[in-house]
Amino acid sequence: MKIRSRLLTKVIVFVGVTLIRLLFRTCRLRAVTEVPGCNCYESTGDRRYLYCLWHDQILMTVFSGRPQNMAGLVSGHQDGSYLAEAMKLVGIEAVRGSSKRGGSRAMGEMLQRVRDFHVAITPDGPRGPRHKIKTGIVFLASHSGRGIIPGAYACRRSWTIRGSWTDMMIPWPFTEIHARGGPPIFVPPGIERDELQRYAERLEREMERLEALVVAAASPGRAKSQPERQPASAGDTRAAA
């Protein structure tokens, strides 16, 4: 059943955001950034980035900390209405649209907003396939000149809400959330379609590398082995969303 009342949508989202905030306040975030000055929860000065994250990790990205100067691409579907309202409550600008519905308009708006905001994009949304990069974020990077920061999240313990094409991870109370951001990937301006795809494949490989690291870090009894790349900075902060 679709809820078309804007007021009822706002009430449902407010209650949901409040409960999720209470849940995340019990969790501990362990964040690693492999290059200094790229953490979305801290000031990056005058630099603005495109943050790439998987759709099933949206809640951990938004509620594990307080993203600074952030805008996000949100589906034009009804489900996107809930996410857009939730983003407003946590201080994130919402740009409605998707790769299939209103995407061109949203992309143009993002090219304007990226001057002042970071932009968070789930390149496997809104309809999948799961954990596959579409070229939209690469196109935006090419036309804006901003670097793409790939990121990944994992929980030591979590619930999984099954979806039609992807799942949604929700951490257990009092668990650890591990996050890792990779080095920025810069895309040359005005590249051809086949080059866009090559950069998308490179970004996907980097996302897979980061996810493997956070999953290993979040696994109980993990080995004390050296990561494949030493982080440039690391943080251990209490979630305060």
Question: In this predicted structure, which of 79-83, 143-147, 189-193, 223-227 has the lowest mean pLDDT?
Answer: 223-227
Residue % of the chain over a pLDDT of 70: 78
Nearest C-alpha neighbor of 77 from the set 91, 98, 52? 98
Tell me the C-alpha distance between 64 and 127, whole Å. 24
Number of residues that this document lists for the chain: 241
User: What DSSP letter does each residue of 169-215 carry, written as one string?
Assistant: EEEPTT-EEEEEE---B---TT--HHHHHHHHHHHHHHHHHHHHHHH
Q: Hey, which residues does 233 pair with through a beta bridge?
A: 33
Q: What is the pLDDT of residue 77?
A: 62
Question: For the whole model, what pTM was predicted?
Answer: 0.84
Task: Give the residue extent of every domain in the chain.
Answer: 6-238
Q: Which own/partner contact pairs does 99-103 have at CB distance under 8 Å and 24+ positions apart?
A: 99/126, 99/134, 99/136, 100/127, 101/75, 101/76, 101/77, 102/76, 103/136
CA dihedral 11, 12, 13, 17 (to 10 degrees): 100
Query: What distance separates the 2 farthest-apart alpha carbons in the chain?
Result: 52
Residue-wise pLDDT tens digits, 54-88: 989 989 999 999 999 998 877 666 566 777 888 88
Query: Which bin fits 91, alpha (ψ -120 to 50), beta or left (φ > 0)?
Result: left
Residue-wise pLDDT tens digits, 7-54: 888 888 899 999 999 999 999 999 999 999 999 999 999 999 999 999
Per-residue CA distances from 91 to 113, 169, 174, 231 (Å): 15, 22, 24, 28
Q: Give the confidence band of 201 by pLDDT, cuts at 50, 70, 90.
A: very high
Q: What is the pLDDT of residue 132?
A: 93
